[in-house]
Structure 1
């Protein structure tokens, strides 16, 4: 196997992992409703309809990643979703550690960093619209 194929497999693994993990959050919101998110957005003085944007960032965007169809756009949408989540929910935890000694927002940071990496490197050969 050539180095290019290994890189393409790595890109596929990144896309599938991030897509699946974020999609689980989206499915949870589809099942449980978005009232909590809408209320959170409104509590910050923003229009409630912006809370429905979470469905774009946690359902549509992960599907784009998983399929590899406009995956860079999907990755940018996920990165934006994570920035909003950090800003609205986790801002107070930026300087905190969790019980195990890790960063309190390490999961959100990992999702954000992975999304930015995918946006930069592209989806790879194993995607619907290729490199």
Structure 2
């Protein structure tokens, strides 16, 4: 496989993950983060940490899309997904959905794609190639 093909593949993965996670961030901007603060408080964590969702679901996806310090952006998305799984989906870790798939397949795809991008980097078609 040529380097160009690999760089295009990285671009597709970055933009896809970035856009899909950013949509969740836009929902938080328009709908608020009060529910996340309550979940954090229920888990014994300070509700102020809810503001981190703006980093993980708005700033980090924009970093990925642009390829601007994309490894950091990907790591932030992975951290955000770990919090989301812990706070909102922990009861479904071993569950299956009605079609036989993992109940957390979307969250898992976001998490593991972000981890992969943090390792492989943004590719040549990025703002700073880091």
**Which TM-score applies when normalising by structure 2?**
0.97
Matched, 1:46 2:6: no
Q: C-alpha displacement at 1:91, in angstroms?
A: 1.0
Match of 2:17 in 1: 18
The residue number in structure 2 matching 1:101 is 100
| 1:60 equivalenced with 2:62 (yes/no) | no
Q: What's the TM-score once normalised by structure 1's chain length?
A: 0.97
Which ranges of structure 2 fall in alignment gaps of 5 or more residues? Answer: none
Which stretches of structure 1, 4 residues or more, deviate above 4 A after TM superposition?
none
SS in structure 1 at match of 2:7 = helix
Q: Within 5 A, what are the aligned runs for 1:104-123?
A: 104-123=103-122
**Alignment-derived partner of residue 28 in structure 1:** 27
**SS in structure 2 at match of 1:129:** coil
After superposition, the CA RMSD in angstroms is 0.9
The worse-fitting range, judged by mean Cα deviation, of 22-31 and 85-94 is 85-94
1:77 counterpart SS class: helix
SS in 1 for 2:52: helix
**What is the distance in 2 between the residues matched to 1:37 and 1:90?**
12
